[in-house]
Amino acid sequence: MKIKKSLSFFIIPTGLLCLLTFNSICSADIYKYKDEEGRWQFSDKPKKGVNSKLIHADNGGFAGNGKISDITSLLTKKYQFTDPVQKATMAVVTVKSKLGAGSGFFVTKDCYLVTNKHVVRPAKGKQWDMTQAKIKQNALMLKRSKLQMSQQKERLAINKQKLEDFLLYAEGLSSGRAKDLAYREYALFEQQYQQDLQQFNEAQLRLNRDEKKFNQQQSDFNFSSVISNVAQSFEVVLKDNTTIRAKLIKVASTDDLALLKVDQCQAPYLKMHSKS
Protein backbone atom coordinates (compact mmCIF):
# COMPACT_ATOMS: atom_id res chain seq x y z
CA MET A 1 0.00 0.00 0.00
CA LYS A 2 1.30 3.43 -0.88
CA ILE A 3 0.15 6.91 -0.03
CA LYS A 4 0.60 9.98 -2.17
CA LYS A 5 2.64 12.95 -1.13
CA SER A 6 0.46 15.79 0.16
CA LEU A 7 -0.71 18.37 -2.32
CA SER A 8 1.06 21.69 -2.71
CA PHE A 9 0.22 24.31 -0.12
CA PHE A 10 -1.55 27.55 -0.89
CA ILE A 11 0.56 30.35 0.58
CA ILE A 12 -1.58 33.17 1.91
CA PRO A 13 0.34 36.42 1.29
CA THR A 14 1.16 38.69 4.19
CA GLY A 15 0.08 42.29 3.99
CA LEU A 16 -3.12 41.18 2.33
CA LEU A 17 -5.10 44.28 3.13
CA CYS A 18 -4.55 47.91 2.22
CA LEU A 19 -4.39 50.17 5.25
CA LEU A 20 -6.94 52.94 5.40
CA THR A 21 -6.14 56.04 7.42
CA PHE A 22 -8.45 58.76 8.61
CA ASN A 23 -7.95 62.29 9.87
CA SER A 24 -9.47 63.46 13.13
CA ILE A 25 -12.34 65.95 13.33
CA CYS A 26 -15.18 66.90 15.66
CA SER A 27 -18.49 65.14 15.24
CA ALA A 28 -22.15 65.14 16.16
CA ASP A 29 -24.13 62.43 17.97
CA ILE A 30 -23.07 58.96 16.81
CA TYR A 31 -24.81 55.66 17.64
CA LYS A 32 -23.55 52.12 17.14
CA TYR A 33 -25.45 48.85 16.85
CA LYS A 34 -24.81 45.29 15.69
CA ASP A 35 -26.21 44.05 12.39
CA GLU A 36 -27.59 40.56 11.73
CA GLU A 37 -24.06 39.17 11.31
CA GLY A 38 -22.88 40.61 14.61
CA ARG A 39 -20.76 43.38 13.07
CA TRP A 40 -20.79 46.91 14.47
CA GLN A 41 -22.53 49.54 12.35
CA PHE A 42 -22.73 53.28 12.98
CA SER A 43 -25.42 55.88 12.42
CA ASP A 44 -26.22 59.47 13.32
CA LYS A 45 -29.65 58.30 14.55
CA PRO A 46 -30.75 55.41 16.81
CA LYS A 47 -31.61 52.29 14.80
CA LYS A 48 -35.24 51.26 15.21
CA GLY A 49 -35.82 47.74 16.49
CA VAL A 50 -32.26 47.20 17.75
CA ASN A 51 -30.26 48.23 20.80
CA SER A 52 -28.41 51.36 19.69
CA LYS A 53 -25.69 52.77 21.95
CA LEU A 54 -24.68 56.44 21.97
CA ILE A 55 -20.89 56.52 21.67
CA HIS A 56 -20.29 60.22 20.95
CA ALA A 57 -22.46 63.12 22.04
CA ASP A 58 -22.01 66.55 20.53
CA ASN A 59 -22.67 69.20 23.18
CA GLY A 60 -23.43 71.73 20.49
CA GLY A 61 -20.38 73.83 21.30
CA PHE A 62 -17.62 74.85 18.95
CA ALA A 63 -13.91 74.98 19.57
CA GLY A 64 -12.75 78.32 18.21
CA ASN A 65 -9.47 79.31 16.63
CA GLY A 66 -7.55 79.56 19.89
CA LYS A 67 -5.23 82.56 20.25
CA ILE A 68 -5.24 83.49 16.55
CA SER A 69 -7.43 86.56 16.05
CA ASP A 70 -5.63 88.19 13.13
CA ILE A 71 -4.62 85.74 10.43
CA THR A 72 -3.73 88.61 8.10
CA SER A 73 -1.05 89.96 10.45
CA LEU A 74 0.24 86.47 11.19
CA LEU A 75 0.84 85.65 7.54
CA THR A 76 1.96 89.13 6.46
CA LYS A 77 4.81 89.02 8.96
CA LYS A 78 5.97 85.69 7.53
CA TYR A 79 5.34 86.36 3.85
CA GLN A 80 6.12 89.89 2.72
CA PHE A 81 4.80 89.44 -0.79
CA THR A 82 4.51 92.32 -3.26
CA ASP A 83 3.22 90.36 -6.21
CA PRO A 84 -0.64 90.23 -6.24
CA VAL A 85 -0.68 86.56 -7.18
CA GLN A 86 1.62 85.66 -4.29
CA LYS A 87 -0.49 87.75 -1.92
CA ALA A 88 -3.55 85.84 -3.02
CA THR A 89 -2.01 82.57 -1.86
CA MET A 90 -2.27 83.75 1.76
CA ALA A 91 -6.05 83.41 1.48
CA VAL A 92 -5.83 79.78 0.38
CA VAL A 93 -6.28 77.07 3.01
CA THR A 94 -6.58 73.30 3.32
CA VAL A 95 -9.78 71.94 4.86
CA LYS A 96 -9.52 68.49 6.45
CA SER A 97 -12.39 66.09 6.98
CA LYS A 98 -12.65 62.60 8.43
CA LEU A 99 -12.06 60.95 5.05
CA GLY A 100 -9.65 63.34 3.38
CA ALA A 101 -8.85 66.96 2.62
CA GLY A 102 -9.38 69.66 0.02
CA SER A 103 -8.51 73.26 -0.72
CA GLY A 104 -10.52 76.36 0.12
CA PHE A 105 -10.05 80.10 0.48
CA PHE A 106 -11.24 83.01 2.58
CA VAL A 107 -13.82 85.23 0.87
CA THR A 108 -14.41 87.85 3.57
CA LYS A 109 -12.29 89.77 6.05
CA ASP A 110 -14.21 88.30 8.98
CA CYS A 111 -13.08 84.76 8.11
CA TYR A 112 -15.80 83.24 5.99
CA LEU A 113 -14.26 80.68 3.66
CA VAL A 114 -15.45 78.59 0.73
CA THR A 115 -14.54 75.01 -0.11
CA ASN A 116 -16.03 72.18 -2.14
CA LYS A 117 -19.05 70.36 -0.76
CA HIS A 118 -17.37 66.99 -1.25
CA VAL A 119 -14.62 68.12 1.14
CA VAL A 120 -17.00 68.58 4.09
CA ARG A 121 -19.36 65.81 2.98
CA PRO A 122 -16.87 63.31 1.51
CA ALA A 123 -19.04 60.23 2.03
CA LYS A 124 -20.69 61.03 -1.28
CA GLY A 125 -17.61 62.08 -3.22
CA LYS A 126 -15.00 60.51 -5.48
CA GLN A 127 -12.52 59.80 -2.68
CA TRP A 128 -15.18 57.98 -0.68
CA ASP A 129 -16.08 55.90 -3.73
CA MET A 130 -12.42 54.96 -4.23
CA THR A 131 -12.02 53.93 -0.60
CA GLN A 132 -15.25 51.95 -0.72
CA ALA A 133 -14.02 50.16 -3.85
CA LYS A 134 -10.75 49.31 -2.07
CA ILE A 135 -12.67 47.86 0.87
CA LYS A 136 -14.74 45.71 -1.49
CA GLN A 137 -11.55 44.51 -3.18
CA ASN A 138 -10.04 43.60 0.19
CA ALA A 139 -13.23 41.77 1.14
CA LEU A 140 -13.02 39.70 -2.05
CA MET A 141 -9.35 38.87 -1.44
CA LEU A 142 -10.17 37.83 2.11
CA LYS A 143 -13.02 35.62 0.92
CA ARG A 144 -10.77 33.89 -1.63
CA SER A 145 -8.04 33.34 0.94
CA LYS A 146 -10.50 31.81 3.42
CA LEU A 147 -11.75 29.47 0.68
CA GLN A 148 -8.17 28.38 -0.09
CA MET A 149 -7.54 27.72 3.58
CA SER A 150 -10.72 25.68 3.84
CA GLN A 151 -9.68 23.57 0.85
CA GLN A 152 -6.21 23.05 2.26
CA LYS A 153 -7.67 22.02 5.61
CA GLU A 154 -9.68 19.33 3.84
CA ARG A 155 -6.54 18.09 2.04
CA LEU A 156 -4.68 17.88 5.33
CA ALA A 157 -7.53 15.88 6.88
CA ILE A 158 -7.47 13.44 3.95
CA ASN A 159 -3.70 13.03 4.16
CA LYS A 160 -3.87 12.49 7.92
CA GLN A 161 -6.38 9.69 7.39
CA LYS A 162 -4.13 8.15 4.73
CA LEU A 163 -1.23 8.26 7.18
CA GLU A 164 -3.28 6.51 9.85
CA ASP A 165 -4.41 3.85 7.37
CA PHE A 166 -0.86 3.32 6.16
CA LEU A 167 0.40 2.94 9.73
CA LEU A 168 -2.17 0.22 10.36
CA TYR A 169 -1.08 -1.44 7.13
CA ALA A 170 2.59 -1.30 8.20
CA GLU A 171 1.85 -2.73 11.62
CA GLY A 172 0.00 -5.64 10.03
CA LEU A 173 2.88 -6.74 7.81
CA SER A 174 4.37 -10.09 8.74
CA SER A 175 7.72 -9.69 7.01
CA GLY A 176 10.26 -7.83 9.10
CA ARG A 177 11.95 -6.35 6.02
CA ALA A 178 8.65 -5.22 4.50
CA LYS A 179 7.56 -3.73 7.81
CA ASP A 180 10.84 -1.83 8.17
CA LEU A 181 10.50 -0.36 4.65
CA ALA A 182 6.89 0.56 5.35
CA TYR A 183 7.82 2.35 8.58
CA ARG A 184 10.51 4.32 6.74
CA GLU A 185 8.04 5.30 4.05
CA TYR A 186 5.55 6.28 6.74
CA ALA A 187 8.17 8.46 8.47
CA LEU A 188 8.84 10.36 5.24
CA PHE A 189 5.18 11.09 4.63
CA GLU A 190 4.64 11.91 8.30
CA GLN A 191 7.44 14.47 8.08
CA GLN A 192 5.90 16.00 4.95
CA TYR A 193 2.49 16.11 6.62
CA GLN A 194 3.88 17.90 9.67
CA GLN A 195 5.58 20.47 7.43
CA ASP A 196 2.32 21.09 5.58
CA LEU A 197 0.45 21.34 8.88
CA GLN A 198 2.94 23.88 10.23
CA GLN A 199 2.66 25.97 7.06
CA PHE A 200 -1.11 25.81 7.31
CA ASN A 201 -1.14 26.93 10.94
CA GLU A 202 1.21 29.84 10.21
CA ALA A 203 -0.89 30.92 7.24
CA GLN A 204 -4.05 30.64 9.31
CA LEU A 205 -2.58 32.96 11.93
CA ARG A 206 -1.69 35.51 9.22
CA LEU A 207 -5.15 35.23 7.75
CA ASN A 208 -6.77 35.71 11.17
CA ARG A 209 -4.69 38.85 11.71
CA ASP A 210 -5.61 40.16 8.26
CA GLU A 211 -9.29 39.46 8.85
CA LYS A 212 -9.19 41.24 12.20
CA LYS A 213 -7.41 44.19 10.59
CA PHE A 214 -9.91 44.29 7.74
CA ASN A 215 -12.91 44.19 10.08
CA GLN A 216 -11.43 47.06 12.09
CA GLN A 217 -10.75 49.07 8.93
CA GLN A 218 -14.26 48.47 7.66
CA SER A 219 -15.70 49.52 11.02
CA ASP A 220 -13.51 52.64 11.08
CA PHE A 221 -14.56 53.53 7.55
CA ASN A 222 -18.26 53.14 8.35
CA PHE A 223 -17.80 55.23 11.48
CA SER A 224 -15.85 57.89 9.58
CA SER A 225 -18.49 58.03 6.86
CA VAL A 226 -21.24 58.66 9.40
CA ILE A 227 -19.19 61.35 11.15
CA SER A 228 -18.37 63.03 7.85
CA ASN A 229 -22.04 63.31 7.01
CA VAL A 230 -22.90 65.11 10.25
CA ALA A 231 -19.66 66.95 11.13
CA GLN A 232 -20.08 70.65 11.92
CA SER A 233 -16.46 71.53 12.70
CA PHE A 234 -13.39 71.12 10.51
CA GLU A 235 -9.65 71.51 10.77
CA VAL A 236 -8.26 74.30 8.59
CA VAL A 237 -4.56 74.58 7.72
CA LEU A 238 -3.21 78.01 6.80
CA LYS A 239 -0.39 78.78 4.36
CA ASP A 240 2.22 78.57 7.13
CA ASN A 241 0.76 75.24 8.36
CA THR A 242 -0.88 76.86 11.36
CA THR A 243 -3.97 74.84 12.30
CA ILE A 244 -7.28 76.44 13.26
CA ARG A 245 -10.89 75.27 13.29
CA ALA A 246 -13.86 76.43 11.27
CA LYS A 247 -17.54 75.70 11.71
CA LEU A 248 -19.82 74.73 8.87
CA ILE A 249 -22.33 77.44 7.92
CA LYS A 250 -24.06 76.06 4.85
CA VAL A 251 -23.77 73.31 2.24
CA ALA A 252 -25.10 74.09 -1.24
CA SER A 253 -27.96 71.88 -2.37
CA THR A 254 -26.97 71.88 -6.05
CA ASP A 255 -23.47 73.32 -6.51
CA ASP A 256 -20.33 71.64 -5.17
CA LEU A 257 -19.77 74.39 -2.61
CA ALA A 258 -19.75 74.79 1.16
CA LEU A 259 -19.40 77.84 3.39
CA LEU A 260 -17.43 77.76 6.65
CA LYS A 261 -16.39 80.38 9.21
CA VAL A 262 -13.63 80.86 11.73
CA ASP A 263 -15.00 82.79 14.70
CA GLN A 264 -13.58 86.07 16.00
CA CYS A 265 -10.75 86.61 13.57
CA GLN A 266 -9.62 88.58 10.54
CA ALA A 267 -8.17 86.97 7.44
CA PRO A 268 -6.72 87.82 4.03
CA TYR A 269 -9.39 87.11 1.46
CA LEU A 270 -10.04 86.88 -2.25
CA LYS A 271 -12.50 89.42 -3.56
CA MET A 272 -15.33 87.91 -5.52
CA HIS A 273 -16.40 89.78 -8.65
CA SER A 274 -19.76 89.20 -10.30
CA LYS A 275 -20.05 89.14 -14.06
CA SER A 276 -21.29 92.41 -15.55
pLDDT in tens, the chain (276 residues): 444 433 333 333 333 333 333 333 334 556 666 777 676 666 656 666 666 665 554 444 344 445 588 999 999 999 988 898 999 999 999 999 877 789 999 999 999 999 998 888 876 667 778 888 898 999 999 999 999 999 999 999 999 999 999 999 999 998 889 999 999 999 999 999 999 999 999 999 999 999 999 988 888 888 777 777 778 889 999 999 999 999 999 988 888 899 999 998 999 999 866 554
pTM for the model stands at 0.54
Nearest to 252 by CA among 120, 127, 123, 110: 120
Distance in angstroms (rounded) separating the CA atoms of residues 227 and 272: 32
Domain edges within the chain: 30-121+231-261, 127-229
Residue 271 has a pLDDT of 80
Distance in angstroms (rounded) separating the CA atoms of residues 239 and 91: 8
Residue 125 has a pLDDT of 64
Q: Does domain 30-121+231-261 have CATH number 2.40.10.10?
A: yes
Q: Which residues contact 248 (CB under 8 A, 6 or more apart)?
A: 120, 231, 232, 233, 234, 258, 259, 260
Tell me the DSSP string of the chain: ---PPPPPPPPPPSS-S------------EEEEE-TTS-EEEESSPPTTS--EEEE---S-----TT--BHHHHHHHH----SHHHHHGGGEEEEEETTEEEEEEE-STT-EEEE-HHHHSGGGSHHHHHHHHHHHHHHHHHHHHHHHHHHHHHHHHHHHHHHHHHHHHHHT---HHHHHHHHHHHHHHHHHHHHHHHHHHHHHHHHHHHHHHHHHHHHHHHHHHHHHHH--EEEEE-TT--EEEEEEEEE-SSSS-EEEE-SS-B---PPP----
For the chain, how far is it from start to end, CA to CA, in angstroms? 96
